[in-house]
Structure 1
């Protein structure tokens, strides 16, 4: 018989024996592992509760900090708004009353354009009267 398959057989048998030995040792220590796992579970549950409480506290602190920052920004914006309203009133008071509103101003502009077109038409015809041919 060759050396390669014999060596392979010996290695496989030794690995199988070692695995069987570990299995038998693991089954004898199973009770203490379950007790330690139970204590680990309770410990982890307590740590989870503590972490959730800390997370809630931090989220409340964050919300309160956001609210304070927003209220400060809101008060600054209100002050800025009041200042701009006062400036607008001052500018409107210094400008004086307007004679025409925007709508009236557009009406006057349109009337001026129509009058200018009428005058251009009169001057283009040369001011002479022509016989209207379609009235024959």
Structure 2
């Protein structure tokens, strides 16, 4: 036999023995990833439970917030309605206490025009003075 293929055959046989030995030596260590996987699964389960509890608490708090805000809005709405009724009542009382107008708007403008005419006539009489002009049309 030749030396090349014989040495190649020996090298392959030695490598397979070493690979087989490594597989046997890794067999006890293969239990360790299994333990890590179960620990991770238990941790995931615990986290999922915590998530479910926190989601439930969040939903309860949201419901409480909604009910509290609606109660507050109802109280505010009731207070605004009471204020509105009170202000309407005050407005009616103020309108009832207000005296009736003496003159309508048309009568008021007529009185203002008459006053202006009277003042103009008085000013004209005062500007004329006391001098007597000879009245030619009488003679």
- Scaled by the length of structure 2, the TM-score of the pair is 0.53
Q: Does 1:54 align with 2:57?
A: yes
Distance in 2, matches of 1:65 and 1:31, equals: 51
CA 1:45 to 1:78, structure 2 compared with 1: closer, same or farther past 3 Å?
A: same
Residue by residue over 1:83-133, the C-alpha shift from the partner in whole angstroms, topping out at 9 and shown as x without a partner, is 1110110010110334567xx48x94xx76xx58xx5xx96xx78xxxxxx
Residue by residue over 1:49-105, the C-alpha shift from the partner in whole angstroms, topping out at 9 and shown as x without a partner, is 11111101101101101111111121111111111110110010110334567xx48
Deviation at 1:40, TM superposition (A): 1.1
In structure 2, the partner of 1:69 is 72
In structure 2, the partner of 1:31 is 34
Greater C-alpha Rg: 2
Distance in 2, matches of 1:50 and 1:100, equals: 78
Distance in 2, matches of 1:99 and 1:80, equals: 34
1:83 pairs with one of 68, 82, 86: 86
Write out the 4+ residue segments of structure 1 that deviate beyond 2 Å after TM superposition: 96-101
Count of residues in correspondence between the two structures: 94
Structure 2: segments with no counterpart, 5+ residues: 1-25, 129-139
Equivalent position SS for 1:97: coil
- Scaled by the length of structure 1, the TM-score of the pair is 0.54
Structure 1: segments with no counterpart, 5+ residues: 1-23, 128-136
